[in-house]
Structure 1
Amino acid sequence: MAQPVAGQDAAQSTIGAEIRASAGGKLRDFYGPRGYWPLWVDGNRLGAQADALLALVRTARLDGLNPKDYDPRGLERAMEDANGSHGDPRLLARADIALSKAFAELVKDMRRPSRRVKMRYLDPEVEPKDEEPADILRAAAVASSFPDYVANAEWMSPFYMKLRAARASFAKRWADLPAVAIPADVKLRPGGKGQGVSMLRRRLGLPDGSSYDKALAAKVRAFQADHGLKADGVAGAQTIEALNRGPDWYDRKLTLNLDRARLLPGPWVRHVVVDAASARLWYYSKGRQDGTMKVVAGAKESQTPMMAGMVRYATLNPYWNVPSDLVERKLAPRILDGASLSRLNYEALTDWSANARPLSQSEIDWQAVADGRQQLRVRQLPGGSNAMGKVKFMFPNDLGIYLHDTPSRDLLAKPARHFSNGCVRLEDAQRLGRWFFGKPLKPESDEPEQHVPLPQPVPVYLTYLTAAPGGDGVQFLPDVYDRDGG
């Protein structure tokens, strides 16, 4: 909503005078600095943003909230009174205040983290904050389109809102169907008959019968599409497994993933999201998605954690500090078999300090390293074969997790990409670097470990979304890390 300027409708100023007389408490902290100018009024009636808020309030159960806490009936009455009053300043002011109060409360509650989900926060900038009503309302007031901001709930992550919408349609289509268990050892096809087909018809809410007819095939295809399965109309092993899970399983899965998505910022915050479950990355700014790419995430035994921090600098021509277990299991045996440390493009160091001295290969008891009796610091030198590629983006943490380039392009072509030691390998590190810095990233020389600070640190969120919007339904991804609890 634009701030007041000379020559604007005098009625708005009259409504402002009514707001000045009626607004109390923390709402005055918002209205006061804007001259008590109304937020929800366009001309002599409430704008589309008011209807959008009421729609969100009425569907607040999708957010795990109780719509009654925001008085939808009271809001509706205030809106009807205001819009039917032919511009009565008192009624418009009353509705404006009621809408602002409900909006601030709803936004605060939608953003509140759930205790079911644990995210490690590395920096105070990314920790959830208990925002004041004035801050919530001020952010909405400066949006480029306030009606769109409310209608799309742009204070929430796009992941959250897409999953919220998918949950609503998913529940309408599949939540109330009979809980009939289908035998897991059968494959049911169009044209077939028998008891398994009869059970499948009952499970999908179709009339009794034993024929796999066109209606059943269409219903199976719809179920498959809404569950992220290949919609071929054949009830094979994956489809029967999905049918036998039942609505409670899906509701728990959707609730859990909404709570994970709840921790992510809205698109007006410049930030990066890495989803380890789907092995993809997205980046946002100015209310929109700027790009996306594939990544390689951690393997099951070396998981990418759920954490959030601030990307503060890039390192060009990076070393790769080889994990001690890989030195023991893979590198030491090769050296014992006659390989050369320097020809493999590695170097060993005396310790893990900044002043560590390089060791010659002959100084090291490689058998002790291979047996696990001695730990050794080894790093891979910069170059075309370096596991870090040409650049890594650092958000400092004690787990050694970061985003980095990779020469292993073959892994990015795989549909399931969980192969790393916990770090995130990027499909296009140079593109992400241009987004971070606003220009191409180029080292000044061949010197290793050139650190380049970001003009402005950028939040990065590493999450794990095993349910995500897909097509017209929900794609349920494998729980690779066993974090969903069954």
Structure 2
Amino acid sequence: MRHGLPAGGVPLADRQGNCLHQCFIMGFRAMFLPFRLSVLLILLLFSAAGAQVHDPVQLALMDLLENRSLPSNGETDLRVGEYTVDQWLVELYAQRDMRPLWIDENGPGARASSIASTIIASFDEGLDPDAYHAETISRLWNSDDSSELALLDVLLTDGLSSYAADMAQGRTEPCLLDPQLFASARQTGDNNPLARVLEAYHADDLDQYLDSLKPSHSAYGLLRDALSEYRKIAAQGGWPAIPDGPSIRRGMQDPRLPKIRLRLTITGDYGGTDLHSPLYDAELADAVKLFQKRHNLEIDGIIGRNTLAAMNVPVEKRISQILINMERWRWQPHRLDDRRVYVNIAGFYLHAMNKEKVELAMPVIVGEVYHKTPVFSDRIRYIEFNPYWNIPDSIARNEILPELIKNPAYLEENNIRIFEGWSENAPELDGSIFNWRDIGRHINRYRFRQDPGPDNSLGRMKFVFPNRYSVFLHDTPRRDLFKHDDRAFSHGCIRVSEPLDFAGYLLAQDDDSWDTERINKILDEKKRTVVVLKNPMPIHILYRTAIVDPETGIISFFKDVYGRDELLLQALYPGGSAKICQYPPLAPR
């Protein structure tokens, strides 16, 4: 069962343009619903009339599923007693003449135990075990009543299917949460629940199969480990709140410093043994700098307002961030290329990876809140040196036009030319002949192009992965913006701080003859030059507010710059993540 917005969210009709794949699936299910129900009824009647049944659990299954409640208009689920299950599940049991899948004459066996244990352990994966019937499964586990064992078998099947789907693709639909979260980044493959259950049923090693459902990339596993550690911190009472006050600099004394030492000890930033000193010494300053680095703060060692605010975020909030970002990794394809580029929008950083090794890292600038950078995956296919900047309509209308009205010489001063249209052979026009006040909204008839040069808004190069969002990576003449901690300044494209290094890295994957000297020679020609990559580089534009460094194992938390975390948290855990129940291991029968 998939999950999208909580109650009160955006109506489905407003979201269909961004979720065409869902509309297709929903239409498909609606079209075949009458046919499916007819088939189920025929199968059930055949099963009841044409087979001698002696197994009491099989008889109980027949009674349980034949007395189910059919879905009402607009619904797709069935009611089995007080539980909701999918229609395919009834069809599966009908095809088996109502024989149980996981329960035998001795009760639940080893395979049932594997499924039940996996469902209970879904708590460790940041999921809610009760979404997979954990409470009822635990309660029925040692029952000898045939009706209860029949229900147990059904709930194991339904829970397994839902767990497998949530692990493979995430529990939520990203495009229903935010139109800038594109489903193309999700895991693809067969989403047939019947096929999933049969695959598990026929698996030679069920434990291995269940383990294979989890995302295989280390980023997910590292967050799972961090979740365990932060839950332990929460169980021990969390960390102390630090009172407000003036900034603390190295060498100063302050009565808050013992609490700060304890706070940083709990999260592993401070490894000193003196927890009571009120002196801000060098050892504590190093711990503060590590904390600042982990929270994308200015690394100055000064315990100021922003650093104190980050220290005072409660452990429960950090746990929620970890849970949210584990879900985001479940959206991601589970198999990734060894060499790949990550851009983390929330972290304002780019990492070039080779397996789990970071080969290149640099700060980036991303889209401002009103021009969000979208989340998707693609491949960098070419580099354009000394690029033209074909100015988008919205920028021409909202930014260029007001400047032209104030200063008719703006185009010439900024090396911008104007063309009669958007075709390649559109004639160039003389900008001085226009009365810009009269042009108004008709400005979109014309194409504005900024030629290569030191003031070109794209800088000296851009990195292109053709996509429907017109997003790419590029250089920038605004080097001053990289000094900021929060770097959401662009119109949606991504500005890289070290374009020469990035170009060299990409080109070296094709041909080791590429070096800085060769690239600079092209740049010095000041002529637009396109170099196509022989081996297009996979790029994943992500939104992660919690990540773990694969080399150091240190977790970092980032500001939710686009305000996406709370919406996802509500969709994942409508009752609140703190209410997720952890169940003890199954008692032996």
Report if the CA contact (8 A) 1:348-1:360 is conserved: yes
CA 1:450–1:121 in structure 2 vs 1: closer, same or farther (change >3 Å)? farther
Q: Does 2:469 align with 1:399?
A: yes
- Equivalent residues in 2 for 1:460-479, closer than 5 Å: 460-469=539-548, 474-479=555-560
CA 1:445–1:298 in structure 2 vs 1: closer, same or farther (change >3 Å)? same
Q: Which has the higher helix share?
A: 2
Q: Does 2:316 align with 1:248?
A: yes
Question: Per-residue deviation at 1:171?
Answer: 2.0
User: Which of 173, 176, 192 lines up with 2:233 in the alignment?
Assistant: 173
CA 1:234–1:320 in structure 2 vs 1: closer, same or farther (change >3 Å)? closer
- Equivalent residues in 2 for 1:315-354, closer than 5 Å: 315-332=384-401, 333-334=403-404, 336-339=406-409, 341-354=411-424
- Distance in 2 (CA, whole Å) between partners of 1:281 and 1:225 is 20
Report if the CA contact (8 A) 2:474-2:494 is conserved: yes
Question: Per-residue deviation at 1:424?
Answer: 0.8
Q: What is the aligned partner in structure 1 of residue 365 from structure 2?
A: 296
CA 1:469–1:224 in structure 2 vs 1: closer, same or farther (change >3 Å)? farther
Q: What is the aligned partner in structure 1 of residue 344 from structure 2?
A: 275
Look up the equivalent residue of 1:347 and give its one-letter code.
Answer: R
Secondary structure of residue in 2 paired with 1:310: strand
Look up the equivalent residue of 1:170 and give its one-letter code.
Answer: Y
Q: Does 2:456 align with 1:386?
A: yes
CA 1:306–1:163 in structure 2 vs 1: closer, same or farther (change >3 Å)? same
Report if the CA contact (8 A) 2:405-2:437 is conserved: no
Report if the CA contact (8 A) 1:188-1:236 is conserved: yes
Q: Which runs of 5+ in 1 are unaligned?
A: 1-55, 70-104, 137-150, 207-212
Q: What is the aligned partner in structure 1 of residue 270 from structure 2?
A: none
- Distance in 1 (CA, whole Å) between partners of 2:483 and 2:431 is 37
Q: Does 2:219 align with 1:159?
A: yes
CA 1:400–1:463 in structure 2 vs 1: closer, same or farther (change >3 Å)? same
- Equivalent residues in 2 for 1:59-458, closer than 5 Å: 61-64=123-126, 110-115=167-172, 117-118=174-175, 127-130=186-189, 156-177=216-237, 215=275, 228=294, 237-238=305-306, 241-242=309-310, 245-264=313-332, 268-286=337-355, 288-332=357-401, 333-334=403-404, 336-339=406-409, 341-369=411-439, 371-372=440-441, 374-375=443-444, 376-426=446-496, 427-428=498-499, 429-435=502-508, 437-439=510-512, 440=514, 442=519, 443=522, 449-458=528-537
Secondary structure of residue in 1 paired with 2:351: strand
Secondary structure of residue in 2 paired with 1:374: helix
- Distance in 2 (CA, whole Å) between partners of 1:176 and 1:421 is 45
Q: What is the aligned partner in structure 1 of residue 105 from structure 2?
A: none
Secondary structure of residue in 2 paired with 1:481: coil
Look up the equivalent residue of 1:475 and give its one-letter code.
Answer: S
Question: Per-residue deviation at 1:326?
Answer: 3.5
Q: Which moved more, 1:459-468 or 1:232-241?
A: 232-241
Report if the CA contact (8 A) 1:117-1:259 is conserved: no
Q: What is the aligned partner in structure 2 of residue 484 from structure 1?
A: 565
Look up the equivalent residue of 1:349 and give its one-letter code.
Answer: F
Q: What is the aligned partner in structure 2 of residue 11 from structure 1?
A: none
Which digits, 9 at most, give the CA deviation of each residue in 1:222-247, with x for residues without a partner? 89977946899999755664566544
Question: Per-residue deviation at 1:343?
Answer: 4.4
Which digits, 9 at most, give the CA deviation of each residue in 1:277-316, with x for residues without a partner? 1111112235543322221111222221112223233333
Which digits, 9 at most, give the CA deviation of each residue in 1:238-291, with x for residues without a partner? 566456654432222211122223344566433211011111111223554332
Secondary structure of residue in 1 paired with 2:566: coil
Q: What is the aligned partner in structure 1 of residue 51 from structure 2?
A: none
Q: What is the aligned partner in structure 2 of residue 44 from structure 1?
A: none
Which digits, 9 at most, give the CA deviation of each residue in 1:141-197, with x for residues without a partner? xxxxxxxxxx9x99634433333332222222234417998876899999878xx99
Report if the CA contact (8 A) 1:279-1:297 is conserved: yes
Question: Per-residue deviation at 1:391?
Answer: 2.3
Look up the equivalent residue of 2:224 and give its one-letter code.
Answer: R
Report if the CA contact (8 A) 1:269-1:285 is conserved: yes
- Distance in 1 (CA, whole Å) between partners of 2:261 and 2:458 is 53
Report if the CA contact (8 A) 2:230-2:315 is conserved: no
- Distance in 2 (CA, whole Å) between partners of 1:288 and 1:178 is 32
Report if the CA contact (8 A) 1:225-1:472 is conserved: no
- Distance in 2 (CA, whole Å) between partners of 1:320 and 1:326 is 12
- Distance in 1 (CA, whole Å) between partners of 2:163 and 2:340 is 23
Report if the CA contact (8 A) 1:316-1:391 is conserved: yes
Report if the CA contact (8 A) 2:238-2:315 is conserved: no
- Distance in 2 (CA, whole Å) between partners of 1:198 and 1:450 is 59
CA 1:117–1:321 in structure 2 vs 1: closer, same or farther (change >3 Å)? same
CA 1:435–1:175 in structure 2 vs 1: closer, same or farther (change >3 Å)? farther
Secondary structure of residue in 2 paired with 1:259: helix
Report if the CA contact (8 A) 1:281-1:294 is conserved: yes
- Distance in 2 (CA, whole Å) between partners of 1:171 and 1:312 is 43
- Distance in 2 (CA, whole Å) between partners of 1:306 and 1:286 is 21
Q: What is the aligned partner in structure 2 of residue 141 from structure 1?
A: none
CA 1:241–1:451 in structure 2 vs 1: closer, same or farther (change >3 Å)? closer
Secondary structure of residue in 1 paired with 2:448: strand
Question: Per-residue deviation at 1:381?
Answer: 0.6
Q: TM-score, normalised by structure 2?
A: 0.50
Q: How many residues align?
A: 376
Report if the CA contact (8 A) 1:59-1:67 is conserved: yes
Report if the CA contact (8 A) 2:506-2:537 is conserved: no
Report if the CA contact (8 A) 2:390-2:449 is conserved: yes
- Distance in 1 (CA, whole Å) between partners of 2:248 and 2:231 is 25
- Distance in 1 (CA, whole Å) between partners of 2:523 and 2:554 is 48
RMSD: 5.2
Q: Which moved more, 1:404-413 or 1:467-476?
A: 467-476
CA 1:445–1:293 in structure 2 vs 1: closer, same or farther (change >3 Å)? closer
Question: Per-residue deviation at 1:380?
Answer: 0.6
CA 1:183–1:366 in structure 2 vs 1: closer, same or farther (change >3 Å)? same
Secondary structure of residue in 1 paired with 2:323: helix
